[in-house]
Amino acid sequence: MMRTRTTERKSRWCGAAWLASLLALAPAGISAQENSSLFGSSEKDAAGLIAIIYDLKQTQSMQPSKITAETYPGVVQDFLAKGWDEVVLNKFFRVTRPLYSTQIFIPGMDAGAAPKAYGVDKVMKASCWVIHYKGQVSPPEDGTYRFVAYADDAIAVAVNNKTVCIGARHDMRLEKVWQTNEKKGAKAFNGELIYGEWVTLKKDEPVDLDVLVGERPGGDFCAFLLYQKQGETYQTDKDGHPILPVFQLAPMEIPDKDRGKYPPFSRASETWQQYR
Protein backbone atom coordinates (compact mmCIF):
# COMPACT_ATOMS: atom_id res chain seq x y z
CA MET A 1 0.00 0.00 0.00
CA MET A 2 1.34 3.42 -0.90
CA ARG A 3 2.05 5.53 2.16
CA THR A 4 1.14 9.23 2.28
CA ARG A 5 3.88 11.68 3.13
CA THR A 6 2.20 15.08 2.99
CA THR A 7 1.79 15.24 6.78
CA GLU A 8 5.31 13.89 7.33
CA ARG A 9 6.84 16.54 5.16
CA LYS A 10 4.99 19.41 6.80
CA SER A 11 5.86 18.28 10.29
CA ARG A 12 9.45 17.23 9.70
CA TRP A 13 10.73 19.76 7.28
CA CYS A 14 8.75 22.92 7.87
CA GLY A 15 10.39 26.31 8.04
CA ALA A 16 11.72 28.78 5.54
CA ALA A 17 14.29 27.53 3.06
CA TRP A 18 17.68 29.18 3.20
CA LEU A 19 19.94 30.46 0.48
CA ALA A 20 22.32 27.88 -1.00
CA SER A 21 25.38 28.79 -2.99
CA LEU A 22 28.24 26.99 -4.70
CA LEU A 23 31.22 29.17 -5.34
CA ALA A 24 34.80 28.00 -5.53
CA LEU A 25 34.30 24.27 -5.91
CA ALA A 26 33.06 24.18 -9.49
CA PRO A 27 35.47 22.29 -11.74
CA ALA A 28 36.86 23.87 -14.87
CA GLY A 29 34.20 24.04 -17.56
CA ILE A 30 31.24 24.37 -15.19
CA SER A 31 30.46 27.89 -14.01
CA ALA A 32 29.46 28.74 -10.45
CA GLN A 33 25.97 29.66 -11.70
CA GLU A 34 25.54 26.28 -13.40
CA ASN A 35 26.96 24.44 -10.43
CA SER A 36 24.66 26.18 -7.95
CA SER A 37 21.61 24.41 -9.39
CA LEU A 38 23.03 20.89 -9.36
CA PHE A 39 22.00 20.07 -5.78
CA GLY A 40 18.65 21.86 -5.96
CA SER A 41 16.89 25.09 -5.10
CA SER A 42 16.56 26.67 -1.67
CA GLU A 43 13.11 28.06 -2.52
CA LYS A 44 10.45 26.26 -0.47
CA ASP A 45 7.86 26.52 -3.23
CA ALA A 46 10.23 25.21 -5.89
CA ALA A 47 9.36 21.99 -7.68
CA GLY A 48 11.36 18.93 -6.85
CA LEU A 49 12.13 16.11 -4.48
CA ILE A 50 12.84 17.27 -0.94
CA ALA A 51 16.56 16.73 -0.28
CA ILE A 52 18.01 16.54 3.25
CA ILE A 53 21.74 16.22 3.89
CA TYR A 54 23.15 14.32 6.88
CA ASP A 55 26.69 14.34 8.25
CA LEU A 56 27.39 10.85 9.57
CA LYS A 57 30.59 12.07 11.27
CA GLN A 58 28.55 14.06 13.79
CA THR A 59 25.70 13.38 16.18
CA GLN A 60 22.59 15.57 16.38
CA SER A 61 24.39 17.63 19.01
CA MET A 62 27.38 18.03 16.63
CA GLN A 63 29.65 15.76 18.65
CA PRO A 64 31.92 13.19 16.93
CA SER A 65 29.91 10.08 16.06
CA LYS A 66 32.89 7.75 15.52
CA ILE A 67 31.71 7.05 11.96
CA THR A 68 34.71 6.91 9.61
CA ALA A 69 35.24 6.14 5.95
CA GLU A 70 35.69 2.51 6.97
CA THR A 71 32.44 2.24 8.95
CA TYR A 72 30.36 4.54 6.70
CA PRO A 73 29.19 1.72 4.35
CA GLY A 74 27.67 -0.10 7.33
CA VAL A 75 25.37 2.85 8.12
CA VAL A 76 24.17 3.04 4.51
CA GLN A 77 23.62 -0.73 4.44
CA ASP A 78 21.64 -0.53 7.69
CA PHE A 79 19.43 2.29 6.38
CA LEU A 80 18.57 0.41 3.19
CA ALA A 81 18.21 -3.01 4.81
CA LYS A 82 15.73 -1.60 7.32
CA GLY A 83 13.44 -0.37 4.55
CA TRP A 84 14.79 3.17 4.28
CA ASP A 85 14.04 3.79 7.95
CA GLU A 86 14.93 7.40 8.74
CA VAL A 87 15.49 6.47 12.38
CA VAL A 88 18.88 5.16 11.24
CA LEU A 89 19.88 8.59 9.90
CA ASN A 90 18.16 10.82 12.43
CA LYS A 91 20.76 10.19 15.11
CA PHE A 92 23.28 12.06 12.96
CA PHE A 93 23.64 15.79 12.29
CA ARG A 94 20.94 16.85 9.85
CA VAL A 95 20.49 20.15 8.07
CA THR A 96 16.82 20.80 8.81
CA ARG A 97 16.26 23.22 5.93
CA PRO A 98 16.19 21.22 2.69
CA LEU A 99 16.89 21.85 -0.94
CA TYR A 100 14.40 20.93 -3.67
CA SER A 101 15.74 19.04 -6.66
CA THR A 102 14.04 18.35 -9.99
CA GLN A 103 16.81 16.00 -11.12
CA ILE A 104 19.88 14.14 -9.86
CA PHE A 105 22.52 14.60 -12.49
CA ILE A 106 25.72 15.88 -10.90
CA PRO A 107 28.88 15.68 -13.04
CA GLY A 108 32.19 14.78 -11.44
CA MET A 109 33.28 17.44 -8.96
CA ASP A 110 34.77 17.93 -5.52
CA ALA A 111 32.67 16.30 -2.78
CA GLY A 112 32.82 19.52 -0.79
CA ALA A 113 30.28 20.99 -3.20
CA ALA A 114 27.43 19.25 -1.35
CA PRO A 115 27.87 20.78 2.12
CA LYS A 116 28.63 24.09 0.44
CA ALA A 117 25.31 23.91 -1.45
CA TYR A 118 23.52 23.65 1.89
CA GLY A 119 25.56 26.45 3.41
CA VAL A 120 27.19 24.22 6.04
CA ASP A 121 30.69 23.82 4.63
CA LYS A 122 32.09 25.54 7.75
CA VAL A 123 30.75 22.79 10.02
CA MET A 124 30.57 19.77 7.68
CA LYS A 125 33.63 18.35 5.99
CA ALA A 126 33.45 16.73 2.57
CA SER A 127 33.38 13.10 3.73
CA CYS A 128 30.84 10.66 5.19
CA TRP A 129 27.69 12.54 4.19
CA VAL A 130 24.46 11.38 2.56
CA ILE A 131 21.57 13.21 0.90
CA HIS A 132 18.10 11.67 1.11
CA TYR A 133 15.70 12.75 -1.65
CA LYS A 134 12.02 11.88 -1.35
CA GLY A 135 8.71 12.68 -2.99
CA GLN A 136 5.74 11.29 -4.87
CA VAL A 137 5.95 11.03 -8.65
CA SER A 138 4.34 9.42 -11.69
CA PRO A 139 5.74 8.82 -15.20
CA PRO A 140 4.81 10.74 -18.36
CA GLU A 141 2.76 7.77 -19.58
CA ASP A 142 1.74 4.25 -18.55
CA GLY A 143 4.44 1.65 -18.94
CA THR A 144 7.13 -0.50 -17.39
CA TYR A 145 10.19 1.47 -16.33
CA ARG A 146 13.49 1.01 -14.62
CA PHE A 147 15.87 3.49 -13.06
CA VAL A 148 19.48 3.52 -14.19
CA ALA A 149 22.05 5.07 -11.90
CA TYR A 150 25.61 5.48 -10.71
CA ALA A 151 27.33 7.61 -8.09
CA ASP A 152 30.74 7.92 -6.50
CA ASP A 153 30.43 6.73 -3.84
CA ALA A 154 26.80 5.51 -3.85
CA ILE A 155 23.27 6.02 -5.12
CA ALA A 156 20.25 3.90 -4.21
CA VAL A 157 16.67 4.17 -5.48
CA ALA A 158 13.44 2.87 -3.92
CA VAL A 159 9.87 2.78 -5.25
CA ASN A 160 7.19 2.44 -2.58
CA ASN A 161 9.87 1.67 -0.02
CA LYS A 162 11.41 -1.19 -2.05
CA THR A 163 14.98 -0.81 -3.26
CA VAL A 164 15.00 -1.20 -7.05
CA CYS A 165 18.46 0.05 -8.02
CA ILE A 166 21.88 0.62 -6.46
CA GLY A 167 24.78 2.09 -8.41
CA ALA A 168 27.83 2.34 -6.20
CA ARG A 169 31.55 1.79 -5.97
CA HIS A 170 32.43 -1.81 -5.14
CA ASP A 171 34.04 -0.83 -1.82
CA MET A 172 30.63 0.34 -0.54
CA ARG A 173 29.66 -3.36 -0.36
CA LEU A 174 26.00 -2.60 -1.05
CA GLU A 175 25.49 -5.85 -2.96
CA LYS A 176 24.56 -7.19 0.47
CA VAL A 177 21.34 -5.18 0.12
CA TRP A 178 20.61 -5.33 -3.62
CA GLN A 179 22.37 -6.66 -6.71
CA THR A 180 21.75 -7.45 -10.34
CA ASN A 181 23.19 -9.94 -12.80
CA GLU A 182 22.70 -7.58 -15.74
CA LYS A 183 25.74 -6.17 -17.50
CA LYS A 184 26.72 -2.63 -16.64
CA GLY A 185 25.75 0.26 -18.85
CA ALA A 186 27.50 3.30 -20.27
CA LYS A 187 30.56 4.83 -18.67
CA ALA A 188 29.66 7.47 -16.08
CA PHE A 189 32.62 9.57 -14.90
CA ASN A 190 34.73 7.01 -12.96
CA GLY A 191 32.22 4.17 -13.07
CA GLU A 192 29.41 2.67 -15.12
CA LEU A 193 25.64 2.95 -15.04
CA ILE A 194 23.71 0.18 -13.28
CA TYR A 195 20.30 -0.98 -14.55
CA GLY A 196 17.60 -1.37 -11.91
CA GLU A 197 14.55 -3.60 -11.66
CA TRP A 198 11.58 -3.15 -13.99
CA VAL A 199 8.55 -1.55 -12.30
CA THR A 200 5.08 -1.09 -13.81
CA LEU A 201 3.89 2.49 -13.35
CA LYS A 202 0.88 4.49 -14.49
CA LYS A 203 0.49 8.10 -15.46
CA ASP A 204 -1.28 10.16 -12.79
CA GLU A 205 -0.95 7.36 -10.21
CA PRO A 206 1.79 8.56 -7.83
CA VAL A 207 4.33 6.31 -6.17
CA ASP A 208 6.75 7.11 -3.38
CA LEU A 209 10.24 7.70 -4.72
CA ASP A 210 13.30 7.71 -2.46
CA VAL A 211 16.86 8.31 -3.61
CA LEU A 212 19.96 8.25 -1.43
CA VAL A 213 23.32 9.56 -2.61
CA GLY A 214 26.46 9.68 -0.56
CA GLU A 215 30.17 10.35 -0.33
CA ARG A 216 32.47 8.21 1.79
CA PRO A 217 36.11 9.46 1.93
CA GLY A 218 35.86 12.88 0.25
CA GLY A 219 37.55 13.79 -3.03
CA ASP A 220 35.68 13.12 -6.26
CA PHE A 221 31.89 12.95 -6.25
CA CYS A 222 29.25 12.40 -8.93
CA ALA A 223 25.64 11.20 -9.07
CA PHE A 224 23.40 10.31 -12.02
CA LEU A 225 19.77 9.15 -12.20
CA LEU A 226 18.30 8.22 -15.57
CA TYR A 227 15.48 5.92 -16.62
CA GLN A 228 14.46 3.49 -19.34
CA LYS A 229 11.01 2.55 -20.59
CA GLN A 230 10.46 -1.03 -21.70
CA GLY A 231 9.81 -1.31 -25.44
CA GLU A 232 11.18 2.16 -26.20
CA THR A 233 13.85 2.52 -28.88
CA TYR A 234 16.89 4.60 -27.94
CA GLN A 235 19.96 5.74 -29.78
CA THR A 236 23.13 3.97 -28.66
CA ASP A 237 26.66 5.05 -27.83
CA LYS A 238 29.78 3.68 -29.50
CA ASP A 239 29.72 0.64 -27.20
CA GLY A 240 26.07 -0.19 -27.94
CA HIS A 241 24.63 1.11 -24.67
CA PRO A 242 21.30 2.94 -24.93
CA ILE A 243 21.48 6.71 -24.47
CA LEU A 244 18.82 7.25 -21.84
CA PRO A 245 16.84 10.28 -20.66
CA VAL A 246 17.65 12.00 -17.39
CA PHE A 247 14.96 11.65 -14.72
CA GLN A 248 13.42 15.12 -14.40
CA LEU A 249 10.42 16.62 -12.63
CA ALA A 250 10.66 19.92 -14.52
CA PRO A 251 12.55 21.09 -17.59
CA MET A 252 16.05 22.04 -16.49
CA GLU A 253 19.28 22.73 -18.29
CA ILE A 254 21.77 19.88 -18.05
CA PRO A 255 25.47 20.77 -18.18
CA ASP A 256 27.01 19.40 -21.37
CA LYS A 257 30.62 20.49 -20.94
CA ASP A 258 33.55 18.29 -19.88
CA ARG A 259 31.95 15.18 -21.34
CA GLY A 260 34.19 12.81 -19.41
CA LYS A 261 32.50 13.88 -16.19
CA TYR A 262 29.07 12.35 -16.91
CA PRO A 263 27.42 9.55 -18.94
CA PRO A 264 25.81 10.06 -22.36
CA PHE A 265 22.21 11.18 -21.95
CA SER A 266 19.15 12.36 -23.83
CA ARG A 267 16.42 14.85 -22.99
CA ALA A 268 12.91 13.44 -22.72
CA SER A 269 10.08 15.30 -24.42
CA GLU A 270 8.01 15.11 -21.22
CA THR A 271 9.00 15.27 -17.57
CA TRP A 272 7.71 13.13 -14.72
CA GLN A 273 4.87 14.49 -12.61
CA GLN A 274 5.41 15.52 -9.00
CA TYR A 275 2.78 15.47 -6.23
CA ARG A 276 2.68 17.35 -2.95
Q: What is the mean pLDDT of residues 101-107?
A: 96
Query: What domains sit in the chain, N to C, each tagged with a CATH number?
Result: 41-249 (2.60.120.380)
Which pLDDT score, from 0 to 100, does residue 276 have?
77
CB count, 10 Å around CB of 223?
A: 30
Global model pTM greater than 0.85 = yes
- Over the stretch 241-269, which tens digit does the pLDDT of each residue have? 999 999 999 988 886 767 789 999 999 98
Residues 6 or more apart whose Cβ sits within 8 Å of residue 89: 54, 75, 79, 130, 132
- Over the stretch 51-64, which tens digit does the pLDDT of each residue have? 999 999 999 999 99
- Over the stretch 49-98, which tens digit does the pLDDT of each residue have? 999 999 999 999 999 999 999 999 999 999 999 999 999 999 999 999 99
Phi, psi at residue 231, to the nearest 5°? 90, -10
Amino acid present at 56:
L
Q: Give, as one character, the DSSP assignment of residue 226.
A: E
- Over the stretch 179-235, which tens digit does the pLDDT of each residue have? 999 999 999 999 999 999 999 999 999 999 999 999 999 999 999 999 999 999 999
Q: Work out the pLDDT band at 44, boundaries 50, 70, 90.
A: confident
